[in-house]
Structure 1
């Protein structure tokens, strides 16, 4: 198995996300599993390798009458109110029980950090109360979640991480919402599909990518089946029947997401959701982790030049890792959990960022990638 090391790329510049923080968290290279990215999705992180833990579930009623659930994990008993807190936004159909989410929660716990998993409407075993669900371009619910968490922990530094589509929602929030820089101390985007158009084209290529695409489209259809009685009066039975025949994510978005959120076309929706052209507007210090072999985000879709010019964003690119995978070693399924690169980098970054939250405003960073 080859060893890989982190090297600075020639287009590095200065940023507030670096120096003290990155020197503290990028403490080792990565030894990625040498296999195609499709075999390294986050759902291969088997639950048998992750210890069980108990969370406190809270249902939050939103301003429009909808509801989401938040799963809180305290790092230890009698945790003080000012304990640094991380809001976690899972991926497309993910929730608290997803193994990659559990791995992040446990990694944060080991560092003494509180986590709050934000389960989207109709996800995580919570009943859908209104016809509206969620999409990558809309962060209204996240605004309410952040406000609620800050109200519960008024003296705690609050950060957030978004995985895959959760990263799109978080990225759109920190690049668009006027109060993002005041509400969040730091952010991390994991396996975010920066350029949604290129990501969509990539996962429609046969054979392996398309199979993964169809699997996720099936998962989306299953969600709609579970909430059909709530959304059908608003959409219509015949439309629901058409939606449930979707074979790809793009078909599902065209038939369902666009109509529900008022987009005239799937291209308009993807234009609103994409992040590759919004890096310069990101107001929160943000670390991003991507793999060059991610089927949801081709390497040429990662906005390296834009990140290079940013004062708030840093990206780490590994040669392998797939989508929410980042497994290491020859037999990655035998030894995973806290020591896997994604979990380790997540914990180290937020430990450093939140412990230096008062002075998290000046340092030097480098856009980094892993090279042989």
Structure 2
């Protein structure tokens, strides 16, 4: 009875004090209550431990023991955790990083095209591990998310190489061919060049956004013959049809879609004289008017690469029905709220079937966002994950856990 009396007295005192405080300071009380409600929402719905999918086996064991960030909660920047704000602001903040000085290799393709392979200058041993990077849709070696991630590789004794797609990175387009989600032959050429130059080095490849799609295509097609020993795909799309549908939804997605369509045209415009011979099947004036990625792909990409239609191109570009073919350790990392890759379109059942494949999915993070901290500045969650994964793969390959590609 005494305990009940004490409890009732305490409850009454709290209620009376709260009522008095609210009546005396209604504005402050309202602000405090909203703050408490926000904190509760943030801690229960925003800051979460990532979802992890991987079949039991040596790859899962390596990840669970050597990549501790898998077991951490991801705390997105509290005042900026929405998908669009994470995407835009992280892009801006990473863009503040200074440009990197590279040494450039120009690689000629069999059809007369030119690729730019940028190397971070170093005096490393001939057999030092190689961190290979491939940027996204309109990216290159100075793109913000490339500049923020490669220091993680360089500081751990890796030779760094970044592949610029045709016509990107300041290299003129030599032939009437650009690049697309299924054009992995240029990556094959670059990796072959790297392997010939450094035959005793392991290669850990990182593809970001479209770069991850192209890397994924390469891994699926090459299977056991892939020239990289391990890979990580960051914010990559596994079902392009679903991605395009998501980007055409009204609101900020549609605005971003329009911006990207215009950016894609800007990658073509400086080289439009190269496409004169294709005017009959590709009207560049119509390409210029594209307001969505799908319109651009319908009017330009699908025709340049000989697909029957844009839907045929998207079907061929899907990784969702090929990814089970990957034969090297590969981590796929993305956010559940990525506007380019909706959570319900992720092939999360496949890692349970393929012991070489793992998925890590954060609740928030946007598209190549993953900002964390009240005052965010790189390295963000994605850069920290990459660094831990890279070291885990290097040590595991050196120790013979995974077979080194010769």
TM over 0.5: yes
Q: 1:7 and 1:290, CA in 2 relative to 1: closer, same or farther beyond 3 A? A: closer
The one-character-per-residue Cα deviations of 1:76-104 (angstroms, maximum 9, x if unpaired) are: x4211111102111000001111101111
Secondary structure at the counterpart of residue 334 of structure 2: strand
Aligned residue among 23, 35, 49 for 1:6: 49
Q: Quick one: distance in 1 between partners of 2:345 and 2:50?
A: 20
Secondary structure at the counterpart of residue 60 of structure 2: coil
Within 5 Å, give how 1:42-191 maps onto structure 2. Answer: 43-48=91-96, 50-74=97-121, 77-181=122-226, 183-191=227-235
Residue equivalent to 2:387: 347
Q: 1:268 and 1:313, CA in 2 relative to 1: closer, same or farther beyond 3 A? A: same
Residue equivalent to 1:361: 402
Q: Quick one: distance in 1 between partners of 2:92 and 2:139?
A: 13
Aligned residue among 301, 311, 333 for 1:289: 333
Secondary structure at the counterpart of residue 373 of structure 2: coil
For structure 1, the 5+ residue unaligned runs are 363-372
Q: 1:249 and 1:360, CA in 2 relative to 1: closer, same or farther beyond 3 A? A: farther
2:61 corresponds to 1:19: yes
Residue equivalent to 2:11: none
Aligned residue among 291, 297, 316 for 1:272: 316
> Which structure has the bigger radius of gyration?
2
The one-character-per-residue Cα deviations of 1:98-137 (angstroms, maximum 9, x if unpaired) are: 1101111112112222211100000110000000100001
- Larger fraction in helix: 2
Q: How many residues in Structure 1 have an aligned counterpart in Structure 2?
A: 353
Secondary structure at the counterpart of residue 331 of structure 1: coil
Residues 221 and 244, structure 1, Cα contact 8 Å, conserved in 2:
yes
Residue equivalent to 2:27: none
Secondary structure at the counterpart of residue 59 of structure 2: coil
Q: Quick one: distance in 1 between partners of 2:213 and 2:289?
A: 25
2:343 corresponds to 1:299: yes
Q: By how many angstroms is 1:353 displaced?
A: 0.2
Residues 217 and 249, structure 1, Cα contact 8 Å, conserved in 2:
yes
Q: Quick one: distance in 2 between partners of 1:229 and 1:7?
A: 47
Residues 43 and 98, structure 1, Cα contact 8 Å, conserved in 2:
no
Q: Quick one: distance in 1 between partners of 2:149 and 2:382?
A: 8
Q: By how many angstroms is 1:6 displaced?
A: 3.0
Q: By how many angstroms is 1:30 displaced?
A: 1.7
| Superposition TM-score, scaled by structure 2 size | 0.82
Q: 1:207 and 1:156, CA in 2 relative to 1: closer, same or farther beyond 3 A? A: same
| Superposition TM-score, scaled by structure 1 size | 0.90
Moved more, 38-47 or 93-102: 38-47
Q: 1:296 and 1:8, CA in 2 relative to 1: closer, same or farther beyond 3 A? A: closer
Q: By how many angstroms is 1:184 displaced?
A: 1.2
Q: 1:68 and 1:265, CA in 2 relative to 1: closer, same or farther beyond 3 A? A: same
Q: Quick one: distance in 2 between partners of 1:256 and 1:16?
A: 44
Q: 1:13 and 1:78, CA in 2 relative to 1: closer, same or farther beyond 3 A? A: closer
Residues 76 and 364, structure 2, Cα contact 8 Å, conserved in 1:
yes
Q: 1:61 and 1:206, CA in 2 relative to 1: closer, same or farther beyond 3 A? A: same
Q: Quick one: distance in 2 between partners of 1:245 and 1:323?
A: 25
Q: Quick one: distance in 2 between partners of 1:255 and 1:57?
A: 33
Q: 1:7 and 1:90, CA in 2 relative to 1: closer, same or farther beyond 3 A? A: closer
Residue equivalent to 2:86: 40
Residue equivalent to 1:365: none
Q: By how many angstroms is 1:73 displaced?
A: 1.2
Higher relative contact order (CA 8 A, sep 6+): 1
Residues 236 and 334, structure 2, Cα contact 8 Å, conserved in 1:
yes
Q: Quick one: distance in 2 between partners of 1:53 and 1:200?
A: 33
Residues 180 and 284, structure 1, Cα contact 8 Å, conserved in 2:
no
Residues 33 and 320, structure 1, Cα contact 8 Å, conserved in 2:
no
